[in-house]
Amino acid sequence: MKAAPAIRVGLIGYGYAGRTFHAPLIRAVPGLDLRLIGSSDPARVAADLPGVAVVADPYAVATADAVDLVVIATPNDTHAPLAQAALAAGKHVVVDKPFTLDLAEARTLRAGARGRDRLLTVFHNRRWDSDFLTVRAAIGEGVIGPVRHFESHFDRFRPQVRDRWREGAGPGSGIWYDLGPHLLDQALLLFGLPERVTASLAQLRPGARADDWAHVVLDYPDRRVLLQASMLVAGGSPRFLAHGEAGSLIKHGADRQEQQLLAGLAPGAPGWGADPDDLEIHDGTGRVTRRPSITGDQRRFYQGVAELIARGTVDDASTREAIRVMACLEAAFTSARTGASFGLPLAPDERGT
């Protein structure tokens, strides 16, 4: 039986996200062929990926005849126009998080993808992190009973403000745009949509030009979910805490795939996604048991994309999930600005009802 032709991929952006995550993961997935990269630094691309074509114009990648799938890993304020151009050219599209700058842009892109029967999805790669997979499995098994309080921390220690767009004062900058989509996507996978969102965002480092601290609470009828991100945490915060009616879960260490990629480990190599930090299970009587962490594998994001395109059946479910994340992301910005809690202005179709 003749093998299906490879899906030709064009990657726009070869900065931190494109170089560290997208290019290695794409190249590690059978059925995907990284053909073209849009970058203003062709020498860097050539050094890493000899033989891959490079162009400076991002829109030339978005509309290239030699590309079936466009991956957008550029500054956040360019996501929507580049995705729109790629969809108009008949391409399937992956957008790095955040999907767009606001919910209105996300809805416009979704409508464009549905109208052209194209796949449109967002790079929520942290679904396949070892820490999240481990906690999700334990909660799903009912190890601690119904969860009533849940905390997810995505903290770093970068006390000096760096000269890069993510930490600047432009649109789409700041820690909530950067890490909020990961925190929200994981929380929604675990618990579904909240009733309300309450948020506080702050600039705590000297010289900060965008938010570098975020504290967001998702209100559910029978639980509270706390999402926390900071640039001033040198240690001490667990990645996840979950308190239920029958005990508690604590996951201290975070997934290591980003560090492995930065160290040059190829996705799928021996040790890829391994997490030596066990999950702690507290039963309330003082007894603590430990469970080995599940191995993470962010290749599964692109494996899913490749399978959907190869089957020729476009699944709108992932786009709808990205719309929900954007609704929560935007509600948090509004809450932080006004000091009030906000519900989610989602249509029944967007809620999946």
CA 173, 19, 99: angle at the middle one, nearest 5? Answer: 40
**Global confidence as pTM:** 0.96
Q: What is the pLDDT of residues 283-318, one digit of tens each?
A: 989 999 999 999 999 999 999 999 999 988 777 899
Q: How far apart are CA 295 and CA 271, in angstroms?
A: 9
Q: How far apart are CA 92 and CA 7, in angstroms?
A: 10
For residue 137, count other CB atoms closer than 10 A to its CB.
Answer: 14
Mean pLDDT in residue range 209-220: 98
Query: Contact at 8 Å (CB) between 325 and 192?
Result: no
Q: What is the pLDDT of residues 141-164, one digit of tens each?
A: 999 999 999 999 999 999 999 999
Partners of residue 53 on adjacent β-strands: 36
**In this predicted structure, what is the pLDDT of residue 352?**
83
**In this predicted structure, what is the pLDDT of residue 2?**
56
Sequence-distant (6+) residues with CB within 8 A of 191 are 147, 150, 218, 220, 223, 225
In order of their start, the domains of the chain are: 7-123+301-314 (3.40.50.720), 129-295 (3.30.360.10)
